[in-house]
A and B are shown apart, each in its own frame.
Chain A
Amino acid sequence: MASCDDLSIPNTSTLARGVRVPEWITVEDGKERLNSATFLDGITNETSCFLLEEVGEVAGFCEHILPIIENKLGRKLRFATISVGTVRSTGLWLNRRPEEFFGNSAHVVICAPNAISKSQYKKKTRELAGLAMLHP
């Protein structure tokens, strides 16, 4: 688990997160929205994301990163984006974890402070899901 926020990751950066379909999308009144499963983790309170500016923006993410994840999962994914500043505004942190994705330094995790309860953590992931943009 992370012990601090990596402030070398600027608030202006944008994160991309793979989205399992249809599981992580809820249709409410005919409109799609992400459910909190997108940013939730049951054990480590950490969810993998990628810094778009370090992978060639959306085009680079779709061309080089997403296919790797899809290949490992064996299914197509969609993806969502959210700014680092927005993540921090919910009280969650960012940490780099290149070792968890083939040494790629653009791989980061959104993580919760150690003292947080599951109820608080769930609430924050729900907030993130509401603030993130789901891409087609």
Chain B
Amino acid sequence: MASLASTLTASEVIERFKPTRPASVLFKSNWGNVIRLDEPSWRIVAFAMIAKIESQESRTVPGLGSFGATDRAGNALRAYLLSVRETSLPFPRVVPVSGNALLLVWTSGVRSIEIASFPDGEVVLETIEQGVLNEELARQGLDEAVRWLVRG
């Protein structure tokens, strides 16, 4: 996915990850499908991936977990990402997590950021370098974490 994302344009990624479920489900937020034209490309990609997972039917796979993100998990992650001021960032990946949650993974070299968004709307940020957590950095917030990610 990372290599895929890095070789596609933002519009190609949106096309690839566009929701597959018909928009006929009442009470389902379509906010995730609305993207401002002046958004940075990394955020367009992230929002498209969130919308793609939200659009999938929730289902339980015995022995693995239950998948399909809740609106609250998706909205909380989108709101969290809107706080980032940096515009030139690598494309992140957003993946489904058991229990109708989401995980965003941002990787640059040996550094990565993981953001877990839970079904109740709680968001947890972690910064990791060569497999080791950097809790102090995570406490400084997402804006500082993304600057650390791309600082090299």
Q: Residues on A close to B: CB < 8 A? A: 18, 20, 22-24, 26-29, 33, 35-37, 40-45, 47-48, 50, 65, 68-69, 72-73, 77, 100-102, 107, 118-119, 122-123, 126, 130
Contact = CB atoms under 8 A, between A and B. Distances in A.
A18 B63 CA distance: 8
B109 A50 contact: no
Interface of B: 1-3, 61-66, 73, 93, 95-101, 103, 105, 107, 109-110, 112, 114, 116, 118-119, 122, 124, 126, 128, 130-131, 133
A37 B95 contact: yes
A23 B63 contact: no
Contacts of A27: 2-3, 107
A93 B95 CA distance: 25
B103 A40 contact: yes
Contact of B62 (A22, A26, A69, A122): A69
B66 to A, nearest CB: 7
A130 B97 CA distance: 17
Contacts of A40: 97-99, 101, 103, 116
Given A23-B95, A28-B109, A42-B98, A72 B62 contact: yes
